[in-house]
Amino acid sequence: APGAGYSTSGGAAFGAGGGVAPLPRGAVAGAGCATTTCVAAGCATIGQASMISVGPGNGDYITETTYRYVGAGAGDLTVTAPRTILWTRILGAAVGILALAGGGVLLASMGGTPTTTPGVQQAAMPLPVEQAEAPETTTEPAPKLQECTFWGDPHVLTFDGARPSFYGEGEFYIVKSDTVNIQGRYMGTKYTAGLAATNRVTVGGEFLDGHFISVGAMEDGPITIDGVPAMTKFPSTFEFDELDGVSVTYNEGGKLVDGATKDWKKRVVTMYLPDRVKVEVFRWSNYVDLRITMPKQPNQDGGCGNMNGDPEDDSTAAIYHRIGARVPKGELIAGGRVEVELTTVEEKLLTMCEPELLAKAQKECAHDLKSFREHPSAVQTKSCMLDICYGANEHTLRMAKKAGLVHDPEVTDTV
């Protein structure tokens, strides 16, 4: 092979670079010699040459010949050792020294220490280079979606699982926050003996960039968007040109909020709004049911509660105390204020309110209606007091029927 040389004392020689050359046969043998190479002292048969390693990486070998004595010879020649090509050894040694020196310098520059095993050249392992630590980055999980539902007269299940009720008429905050504003109009019906049901829902706020969507009961008029009738055909879809991903559908889809309505024809308005807010309004003849799905918003409160994980502070009285009993006139998203009425049944319910609770209701409503920004009428005050007296009772209409206050056969207590 290139770089390795071989020689023997008989037959052929392998020189550096892998060439093969025949060696001249031996001189004349003396008497009694039976070999092909003669020496002065006698003849000997030269055994087969063998080769040994003289070091790793040098690319060279030396011969080792074995002799067997066969008697005195008569020749006058002597054995001459094969010529060794010295320059190949010198070159190989020089390359090895340079490699070791270069590796040492490299290791020294890297701060490492070379290690060796006798007879084996080992590559030095570079030490790790110290790197600056990357700044820790954390991804905040998306806020959890919560659900609030309104149904009937109106029963409520807040985001935190509380069950306040609102029986008086007027305009209320369902969700009030820095970004999302959802307002509800509560009106009595002949089927609820004047106790309020949700009559209309209006969605607006900063997150809609000044737009608003208003959906009422079937008897309350058309759906409006920015105050203009919209989606007059059923089914239909509406999309905002300037609000990507925001749309409103009007069809029969959606899971019912109240199982008692399962036999009625569904007309459902679903709003797919920014910030993962979804509002579903189920339009019935004279009231609506409602489902709101959304994450918590900054400074959130309203009829659906404050979404702080504590249902205990979502009572009707607590909500009124925090944000007021009604929406102030200057904060109404759309339309004017409805004229509030009090039915005979509601008047009788107020007389049945425990005296201490009635006095508390009158005091709290005087405070809670301060945000009204207008002098409340006596009827508006009584409407507020009805909520304080019976806001913790989910079935006030049922109680009124049992008390004999309701005589109209069309009044039902299933809402």
CA distances from 121 to 97, 100, 124 (A): 11, 9, 9
Contact 318, 367 (CB under 8 A): no
Which of 232, 222, 227 has its CA nearest to residue 212? 227
Compute the distance between CA of residue 182 and CA of residue 230 in angstroms, rounded to an integer.
Answer: 19
Tokens representing 101?
């020196």
Residue 205's pLDDT is: 96
170: CB partners within 8 A, 6+ apart: 185, 186, 325, 326, 327, 337, 338, 340, 380, 383
Element (H, E) at 384: helix 378-390
pLDDT tens, the chain, 415 aa long: 344 444 344 444 434 444 444 444 444 333 433 444 443 334 444 444 545 555 555 555 555 555 565 655 555 555 555 555 444 554 555 555 555 555 544 444 444 444 444 444 555 555 555 566 666 767 778 889 999 999 988 789 999 999 999 999 999 999 999 999 999 999 999 889 999 999 999 999 999 999 999 999 999 999 999 999 999 999 999 999 889 889 999 999 999 999 999 999 999 999 999 999 999 999 999 999 999 999 999 999 999 999 999 999 999 999 999 999 999 888 999 878 888 999 999 999 999 999 999 999 999 998 888 766 678 889 999 999 999 999 999 889 989 989 999 888 777 655 4
Compute the distance between CA of residue 375 and CA of residue 253 in angstroms, rounded to an integer.
Answer: 43
Give the other-Cβ count within 10 Å of 9's Cβ.
Answer: 21
Coil, helix or strand at residue 185: strand
Compute the distance between CA of residue 125 and CA of residue 112 in angstroms, rounded to an integer.
Answer: 8
| HSE-CB for 301 with a 13 A CA cutoff | 16
Q: What single-letter DSSP state applies at residue 266?
A: P
Looking at the DSSP assignment, which residues form a beta bridge with residue 213? Answer: 203, 225
How close are the terminal C-alpha atoms of the chain, in Å?
101
Burial class (CB in 10 A: 0-12, 13-18, 19+), 380: buried
Residue 10's pLDDT is: 44
Looking at the DSSP assignment, which residues form a beta bridge with residue 184? Answer: 172, 201
Task: Report the predicted TM-score, pTM, of the whole model to 2 decimal places.
Answer: 0.67
Residue 19's pLDDT is: 42
Backbone angles phi, psi at 21, to 5 degrees: -135, 135
Which of 138, 185, 354, 377 has its CA nearest to residue 281? 185
Residue 295's pLDDT is: 97
Which of 163, 151, 138, 89 has its CA nearest to residue 393? 163
| HSE-CB for 2 with a 13 A CA cutoff | 0
